[in-house]
Amino acid sequence: MKVNSISNLEVDMHRYILCGLSILMLSLAASCNIVTTVPRAKTVPPGAPFSYARPEEVGLLSSEMESLANRVYNWVKQGKIVGAEVMVVKNRRIVLHEASGWSDRERRIPLQRKSIYRIRSMTKPFIGTTVLMLAEEGLLSLDDKVATYIPSFDNERSREITIRQLLTHTAGYVQGGFPSGYWNVPTLREAVDKIGQMGPPHLPGESFRYSDLSTATLGAVVAEITGSPVERFLEHRIFGPLGMSDTYTWFAPNVHWASRMNSTYRRNWFSWKKYWDNTKKQQTPFFRASGGIYTTVFDYARFLRTWMDYGKYDRGQILSKASVLEALKRGSLANYGYHWSIYDGSTSSGHLPTFGHGGSDGTLAIAYPRLDMLILFFTQSRGTSNINEFLAVVKDLFQP
């Protein structure tokens, strides 16, 4: 009798445990955003920079494009990202363009193609481009000391820093380590003055250390030389000429494009937590030259294509071929050029390497000149490992 009682108790306990595990798994699935269906946008939006084509028209396979799109879609289903937009351009034809998941998960707003993203550090190549444009116009030299333009750098800690070192992230600054009060001042120049006064923790020129402080300083140098904020230079000399009509340097909830702005998320244990959306102001009172641009996959493709065309665009040229080749040389201390990441290859014999840049909120754009291909993968899921997974999938598919 005693044995039977214990046996019945064990059975009941097993039932309770299994029931509890089932509830736990359902809770985890919900918190991890694992769902059976997610939005998937395939309708063609207006204003594309290139015409659409079937993959076979440019030597690719529809099965390859479907495999890539399905991989991204499944990441959303599995809760690895909140949403993503992927676009592949081959021979100036769009052969894949799809959005999966959510622009705002809590408000159940599906992610749409041609929506607007905070691209964070993908801003850096734009700032690098402005510096190279001024160099071509003879308004600065890359070997000029920053202190020539920003007096706060004229001290024993910062005096030897050059513009070239800022461009190549070899000025001695580190990522983070912002000077006290950096985020509270009203202008970029005042923030950069604090950078100069603080000085770098490492000797300029000794090693590669990626740093937002380098790019912020370059933005202030451009403003000092041109006599207007660096964002005005971007708007008039790059965005306008390239037809980047959906690219912006300032956000407030009342801007006319606010409804197209995606919310941003970061991983919080098992789930994604929204930390910014279009009901909030931007987080700094000034334009963050190191990461303050808002744009679409269409507009970034226009910019990337211009670089892949050696600085040419429809109505002119923003940079010379020589400057493009110089900027895309692999650095001696890292796989980084003048504010571009260099993924593979070199500029030997006048050819371009595989290049691009990523952003910390989950955006990535890469040009594969050898394949005449652009690939863009934009999410707003901060800190996801899927950027590296995406790169691995692309390599397996195309072996660029």
Q: What is the DSSP string of 209-263?
A: ---HHHHHHHHHHHHHHHTS-HHHHHIIIIITTTT-TT-BS---TTSTTGGGBPP
Share of the chain above pLDDT 90, in %: 84
φ, ψ of residue 224 to 5 degrees: the values are -65, -40
- Mean pLDDT score of the chain: 91
Nearest Cα to Cα of residue 165 among 389, 393, 338: 338
Say how far apart CA 62 and CA 65 lie, in whole Å. 5
Judge whether 322 and 221 are in contact, CB under 8 Å.
no
Instruction: Say if residue 25's pLDDT is above 50.
Output: no
Judge whether 82 and 380 are in contact, CB under 8 Å.
yes
Q: E strand or H helix at 367, and its extent?
A: strand 363-368
Judge whether 220 and 150 are in contact, CB under 8 Å.
yes
Nearest Cα to Cα of residue 162 among 113, 200, 121, 133: 200
Judge whether 366 and 354 are in contact, CB under 8 Å.
yes
Instruction: Say if residue 15's pLDDT is above 60.
Output: no
- Delimit the domains of the chain by residue range: 1-31, 40-122+256-281+293-398, 126-232
Q: Quick one: average pLDDT of 163-170? A: 98
Instruction: Say if residue 30's pLDDT is above 60.
Output: no
| More confidently predicted of 348 and 51 | 51
Hey, what amino acid is at 49?
Answer: P
The pLDDT tens digits for 176-228 are 999 999 999 999 999 999 999 999 999 999 999 999 999 999 999 999 999 99
Share of the chain above pLDDT 70, in %: 91
pLDDT at 22: 37
Residue 270 pLDDT grade (very low, low, confident, very high; cuts 50, 70, 90): confident
pLDDT at 400: 67
pLDDT at 21: 42
Fold of 40-122+256-281+293-398: Beta-lactamase (3.40.710)
pLDDT at 386: 87
If one counts every other C-beta atom within 10 angstroms of the C-beta of residue 317, the result is: 15
Nearest Cα to Cα of residue 149 among 212, 182, 338, 141: 141
| Contact partners, residue 57, CB within 8 Å, separation at least 6 | 93, 95
Q: Quick one: average pLDDT of 312-331? A: 96
Residue 10 pLDDT grade (very low, low, confident, very high; cuts 50, 70, 90): very low
| Plot region of 311 (φ>0 → left; ψ -120 to 50 → alpha; else → beta) | left
The pLDDT tens digits for 278-301 are 999 999 999 999 999 999 999 999
pLDDT at 36: 53
Instruction: Say if residue 14's pLDDT is above 70.
Output: no
